[in-house]
Amino acid sequence: PRWLRRAWRAAQLALAAWAAGQAYAALDGPQAASAPHFPYVLLPAAAAVLAFAGVLAALDGGILVTAERVPARTAWQGTLPRSLAPVAVHGLAGLMMAVLWQSPYGPPAALLVLLPMGVSCWVFAQYHRERAAHQATIRALVQAVDIKDRYTRGHSERVGRAAVLIARELGMPDERVEVLRFAGILHDVGKLGVPTRLLRKEGPLTPQERRVIELHPEYGHEMVRGIGFLGDARAAILHHHERVDGSGYPYGLTGTQIPESARVVAVA
């Protein structure tokens, strides 16, 4: 639930801030901040950043293991670097503001730090708006397929979730997992190009009708070719009906000729 996620996030940040404060104080941070030379404060500030990022990483990995059932051996992969980069940038900005605040120029000089922070916030918001637009594009495509093919209804979302589980079990990085989620959700989008009467036909298909159905991976690939953010998901859409022994379609690829993303979606 949304309220629980917000409570978790707030508690996570509070614990991280407490740990950062403890690390800062343990290395005589308050005395260093009041020292006449700026470099004295760098060591306790760096320790505070590491403590903050470390707590975030530990808790992020822990919630993946307990709530998301991610294998423990992969839950913490990359969590510390992902936490450390933004915390280090914001920690440096905070340190600059604190030092300038105590300078002869006083608070007005410290407020100058807010300008790059504001730009950073704007860039971050733009990224999230772009991501929301990507999600909306995918939802629209999936809804169109669900309306056209009753069998597919809900199937695409389930394949997307299964692809994510497989990717995590294989220890793939988060960016790769996200691509496979897109691939799983959109793997049947090419059915929009198949006549509805064939998708809803009762009983077996004729060989000619089956050949038409088997064109849907190529239709799907053509439909998403220009959507740049899908990346390797496009290959999965085209090849998800290939089989390791070469009996699949549309090109009869075998073994490692089949892209890894397509193999994952095929299993999902």
**What integer best gives the mean pLDDT of the chain?**
87
Q: Which of 25-34, 74-83, 182-191, 252-261 has the lowest average pLDDT? A: 25-34
| Topology given in CATH for the domain delimited by 127-267 | Hypothetical protein af1432 (1.10.3210)
Q: Which pLDDT score is estimated for 197?
A: 87
The pLDDT, as a whole number, for residue 34 is 62
114-132 residue pLDDT tens: 887 788 788 888 888 888 8
With cut-offs at 50, 70 and 90, classify the pLDDT of residue 7: very high
When computed from its CA atoms, the radius of gyration of the chain, rounded to whole angstroms, is: 25
C-alpha closest to that of 19 among 54, 71, 44, 45:
54
Domain with CATH 1.10.3210.10 in the chain: 127-267
Verify whether residue 201 is a known catalytic residue: no
**Is it the case that residue 180 has pLDDT exceeding 60?**
yes
pTM over 0.85: no
| Gap between the Cα atoms of 172 and 109, Å rounded | 45
Q: Is the distance from CB of 235 to CB of 262 less than 8 angstroms?
A: yes
Average pLDDT over residues 149-163: 84
Catalytic residue among 191, 221, 234, 239: 191
